[in-house]
Copies of this chain bind each other. A is one copy, B any other.
Amino acid sequence: MRIIKTIGHLRKILNEFSRNGKRIGYIPTMGYFHEGHLRLVRHAKKECDICVVSIYVNPKQFSPAEDLSRYPRDIKRDSMMIEKENVDILFIPSDNIVYPNRYLTYIDVKEISGTLCGKYRPGHFKGVATVVAKLLNMVRPDVMYLGQKDAQQVVVLSRMVADLNFPVSIRVVATAREKDGLAMSSRNIYLSREDRCQAPVLFRALSDAAKRIQKGERSVSKIIAFIKKTITQDTSGKIQYVACVDANTLEPLKIFKGKALIALAVFFSRTRLIDNVIIPIKKTGKSQNY
């Protein structure tokens, strides 16, 4: 595995691969890998000739009040984990390479960036869209792999890629979960032992809600009430939002129809966890081509 730190070096190597007709798979990350990242890598390894992973903790997607400085980082551990998966290139650009002085350009994916998480994290998806556009121009992959755990990110980036005509396919890989159902996240290490015990309630509530819908429940307000009750009655989780939206447009639903996304964000102490399911639920381990 080559570790590359500059855009010039990255381009030189990747241009060579492209000229030789190699298919490049790319996974943009903020590092601190878990099984979810590794699954993206394995899909890329299987489906492409060259697998590129980037690690960059993007300051522009954190608001001043958020956890940029304490976001977990461990490049050495990350390198070892993906070297074992035979990743070809690990790209680790520094802040001054990604955002040099007098940086002025931002990409805004309107409407769908301002709902769900975006409502509580103003500017977050503008930061995500901007950095991913930059990374796509640096890496020029054939396929980009994203995890379904960040459902809104998937929708926003898919829309940006389509709208701006980036010549890349997006493959979405199902959320990796702990045995008890908790969605894997780099932020799970923040959880106290007690919070960690309670956190699986999120996926349990989502799964039970999905079952109710599969059995015929169509009322969004009833499903939201059910999820909220499930989470709050037994745990200390503080709900930021629970929403049922169209999975493509993110527009709120009143009754379940078509492809729906149930998404939520819940605080356990200071740690904000997110999770989601798509109705009808996708089978675990399958990826979805946008």
List A residues at the B interface (Cβ < 8 Å).
7, 11, 19, 21, 102-112, 129-130, 133-134, 137-138, 140, 159-160, 163-167, 249
Contact = CB atoms under 8 A, between A and B. Distances in A.
Contacts of A167: 11, 137, 140
Contacts of A107: 105-108, 164
Contacts of A159: 104-105
A249 B104 CA distance: 11
A112 B104 CA distance: 8
Contacts of A134: 163-165
8 contacts: A7-B165, A102-B249, A104-B109, A104-B111, A105-B109, A137-B165, A137-B167, A138-B165
Given A19-B19, A19-B21, A21-B19, A163 B110 contact: no
B164 A105 contact: yes
A163 B138 CA distance: 11
Nearest to A159: B104
